[in-house]
């Protein structure tokens, strides 16, 4: 009995990347690219149709919804396809929201073709595949939870790194200025620092926020 092929949706805002993924995956037996999406919103809409098994999702699109947000929207539906993140970003600020959103796997775009194909098959079967750099980061967080920032703390510190004041951060995240200060105090304690500059530098070195 011939098994049905694994049906794929490629979601990436760069046509060249989509073409490259298609070229690699369509040479693999049992894999077929059914559709492509240039925006996260298109990916969410297309994944709602009952003909996709695995979505290969980038994390950052030019405008609008992010890949993590699209992942959450897709996986919230009953019988949703699996999501395999394929991106160039491996910081905690990127990986954790995607995994929390329900991604089955997380690969970097420089992964060898055979690893990509294996990850797609694994995702279709419900198995988790993580890029080595991502797996190392997650293990480090488990071994040393003191340096693990919450999702909100990561958001606050990322905005600090972007140069926003406490007031501006509060407005952006719909928090009071006092709540922002409380988040910063916990961040300082976790990272063992006493200033905004030191917090940003340390978190960047640890890969907790994007470079």
Token readout for 36 is 């492509």
The per-residue pLDDT for range 34-86, each reduced to its tens digit, is 999 999 999 999 999 989 999 999 998 988 899 999 999 999 999 999 999 99
User: pLDDT band for position 19 (50/70/90)?
Assistant: very high
CATH number of the domain bearing residue 153: 1.10.10.10
The per-residue pLDDT for range 184-194, each reduced to its tens digit, is 999 998 888 99
Is the confidence at residue 152, as pLDDT, over 80? yes
Residue 1 lies in a domain: no
Average pLDDT of the chain to the nearest whole number = 89
DSSP state, residue 101: T
For position 90, what pLDDT does the model report? 74
CATH number of the domain bearing residue 32: 3.40.50.2300
Rounded CA separation 14/5 (Å)? 25
Assess whether 163 and 92 both reside in one domain. Answer: no
For position 211, what pLDDT does the model report? 60
For position 159, what pLDDT does the model report? 93
Kindly write down the DSSP assignment for every residue of 84-96, as one continuous string: EEEES--SHHHHH
For residues 132 and 117, the model is more confident at 117
Q: Could you say which of 124, 140, 156 is where a domain stops?
A: 140
Q: How much is the pTM? A: 0.72
Is the confidence at residue 1, as pLDDT, over 60? no
For residues 83 and 149, the model is more confident at 83
- Which of these, 83, 84, 85, 81, lies nearest to 94 by C-alpha position? 85
User: pLDDT band for position 143 (50/70/90)?
Assistant: low
User: How many domains are contained in the chain?
Assistant: 2
For position 83, what pLDDT does the model report? 96
Residue spans of beta strands (DSSP E) within 4-158 = 6-11, 31-37, 54-57, 82-87, 105-108, 129-130
Q: Could you say which of 140, 168, 188 is where a domain stops?
A: 140
Is the confidence at residue 26, as pLDDT, over 80? yes
Rounded CA separation 168/19 (Å)? 40
């Amino acid at each position: 009995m011939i098994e049905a092929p694994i049906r794929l949706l490629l979601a990436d805002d760069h046509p060249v990347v989509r073409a490259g993924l298609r070229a690699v995956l369509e040479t693999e037996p049992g894999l077929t690219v059914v559709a492509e999406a240039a925006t996260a919103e298109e990916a969410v809409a297309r994944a709602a149709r009952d003909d996709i098994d695995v979505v290969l999702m980038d994390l950052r699109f030019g405008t609008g919804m992010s890949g993590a947000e699209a992942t959450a929207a897709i996986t919230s539906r009953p019988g949703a396809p699996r999501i395999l993140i394929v991106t160039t970003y491996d910081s905690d600020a990127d990986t954790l929201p995607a995994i929390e959103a329900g991604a089955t796997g997380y690969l970097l775009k420089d992964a060898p073709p055979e690893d990509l194909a294996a990850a797609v098959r694994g995702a279709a079967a419900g198995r988790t595949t993580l890029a080595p750099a991502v797996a190392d980061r997650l293990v480090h967080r488990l071994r040393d939870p003191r340096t693990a920032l919450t999702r909100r703390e990561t958001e606050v510190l990322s905005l600090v790194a972007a140069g926003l004041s406490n007031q501006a951060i509060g407005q952006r995240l719909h928090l009071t200025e006092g709540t922002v200060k409380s988040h910063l105090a916990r961040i300082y304690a976790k990272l063992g620092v006493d200033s905004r500059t030191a917090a940003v530098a340390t978190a960047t070195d640890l890969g907790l926020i994007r470079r």
